[in-house]
Structure 1
Amino acid sequence: MPSTANARSILCIQAYLSAIVIYLYAHDFQQAQKCYNDCSEVQAFLNSDQNRCATKLLSAYEEGDTEEVKRIGQSSAFNHLDHVVIRLARKLPTGDLQAINKDAAADDGEEALDEDDLT
Structure 2
Amino acid sequence: MDVEMKTETSAETNMNGIQALHPTDPNPPPQMQPQMQPQMHQPPMQPFLAPTPPAVSATSARPGSMPPQPTARPEKPVAHGGPTRQFLNQAITPHLLEGMKYLAVYEPEKPLLWLADFLKDRSKEVEG
- Judging by fraction of residues, say which structure has more strand: 2
- Judging by fraction of residues, say which structure has more helix: 1
TM norm structure 2: 0.22
